[in-house]
Amino acid sequence: MVKVSIVIPVYNTEKYLEACLDSVVGQTLQELEVLLVNDGSTDSSQEIMERYQALYPDKIRVFSKENGGQATARNMALPLCRGEYIGFVDSDDTIEPEMYERMYAKAKETDADYVECDYINVKINGQGEQERIADYGSRVREYTSVKDMFLDPMLAPWNKIYRAKLLLESGVVFPEGLIYEDTAFCLKAISFIRKPAFVPGKYVVHFYRGSSTMNVNKAARVANIFDVLKDVIRFYQSHGIYEEYREELECAIVKILLCSSMVRISRVPDKGLRKQFCRDTWKMVQEYFPDYKKNQYIRGKGKKNLYMRCVTGWNLSAICKLLSFKKEAL
């Protein structure tokens, strides 16, 4: 019996792929399978994948497709998974040997639909040196309820396992053609989880290899967050569960728009585009959540909540400008 299926989309990561795969095949959990999906790589990633498949034919399955993005690769693999639980690994990350054994054991012990672990965030500087940096501002922790999962969630799939039946029967997939697809996937999946669980170990080493320079194409795609969040809202509405989770969803989405998204907008080099994104941000907040400052979670203590209560349509551009100055000073 396959206990955990691990989905790894691969696109031009030949420099890091071997380290990733060594950490995956070195797992202490033996009853696992690895689904490698080559998303149209133009480097030697396919050859590396095939070599590992030859070395571990009972564990590794290799698939290839035309380039379509990480979401398409993950979605292709999901219905092919044979495991009781499904996990995701980024092809330039590494994981600790006992990660999936500990997470699967916790899942069975608690009959959980979902298990999350902690992680380490590491930046690779221009000299190739590793520097541990702060996490994404979310709290990886044990949740007290399903609704609690909306409050400061870590919206990435690579430190989690999901019950396969939950994902396959719910139809939750990664939205294709957009960045921030992880945000939509994780927020949608929460609504189907009945029992979450947590293991406190830092079992994922997540590498940040991006440049601080944002090109024109990437800057324009920052606006994808609006489409992604609207897609999440439509999902909850179409499934008839919007009112059940309205306050929690409001808190999560407003926090994304006014916090993490504003940080990304502040990095857009074009000032005109930055101002437009700020206007679009406030427009979406006012369209969907005009009374968000009355939200019980946002009314709570904490600097982030105080900041969100102080934001207005008049000062959002100024906040973005301050964030931009802070970035340039670092």
Contact 182, 90 (CB under 8 A): no
Last residue of a domain, one of 208, 231, 253: 208
Residue that is written with structure tokens 């609704």 in the block? 147
Contact 261, 225 (CB under 8 A): yes
pLDDT above 60 (res 326): no
Looking at 179-193, 199-213, 242-256, which range is the least confident one? 199-213
Between CA 55 and CA 219 the distance in angstroms is 41
When pLDDT is averaged across residues 302-306 and rounded to a whole number, the result is: 94
Shared domain for 42 and 132, answered yes or no, is yes
Shared domain for 178 and 235, answered yes or no, is no
In terms of DSSP bridges, do strands 114-124 and 85-88 run parallel, antiparallel, or are they unpaired?
Answer: unpaired
* Domain with 264 in it: 216-329
Shared domain for 25 and 169, answered yes or no, is yes
Looking at 10-14, 86-90, 118-122, 234-238, which range is the least confident one? 118-122
In the chain, the percentage of residues whose pLDDT exceeds 70 is 93
pLDDT at 329: 33
Last residue of a domain, one of 208, 232, 261: 208
Query: 117: buried, middle or exposed (CB in 10 Å: 19+, 13-18, 0-12)?
Result: buried
* 129-183 pLDDT tens trace: 677 776 655 568 999 999 999 998 899 999 999 999 999 999 999 999 999 999 9
Shared domain for 143 and 181, answered yes or no, is yes
pLDDT at 128: 67
When pLDDT is averaged across residues 196-219 and rounded to a whole number, the result is: 80
Between CA 253 and CA 217 the distance in angstroms is 24
Looking at 6-10, 56-60, 257-261, 324-328, which range is the least confident one? 324-328
pLDDT above 80 (res 213): no
Among the listed residues 111, 119, 136, 107, the one whose alpha carbon sits nearest the alpha carbon of residue 198: 107
Shared domain for 170 and 186, answered yes or no, is yes
Q: Give the three-state DSSP class for 7.
A: strand
**CA 288 to centroid of chain Cα atoms:** 23
Shared domain for 169 and 135, answered yes or no, is yes
Shared domain for 204 and 220, answered yes or no, is no
pLDDT at 134: 66
pLDDT at 328: 40
Shared domain for 160 and 238, answered yes or no, is no
Q: Provide the number of structural domains found in the chain.
A: 2
Shared domain for 229 and 247, answered yes or no, is yes
In the chain, the percentage of residues whose pLDDT exceeds 90 is 84
Last residue of a domain, one of 157, 186, 208: 208
Shared domain for 262 and 318, answered yes or no, is yes
pLDDT at 330: 29
Looking at 38-47, 66-75, 318-327, which range is the least confident one? 318-327
Q: Predicted confidence band at 16 (pLDDT cuts at 50, 70, 90)? A: very high
Q: Which helix (H) or strand (E) holds 64?
A: strand 60-65
pTM value? 0.93
Domain containing residue 47: CATH number: 3.90.550.10
Count of H-run helices and E-run strands, the chain: 13, 9
Residue type, 18: E
When pLDDT is averaged across residues 192-218 and rounded to a whole number, the result is: 82
Contact 119, 203 (CB under 8 A): yes
* 241-297 pLDDT tens trace: 999 999 999 999 999 999 999 999 999 999 999 999 999 999 999 999 999 999 999
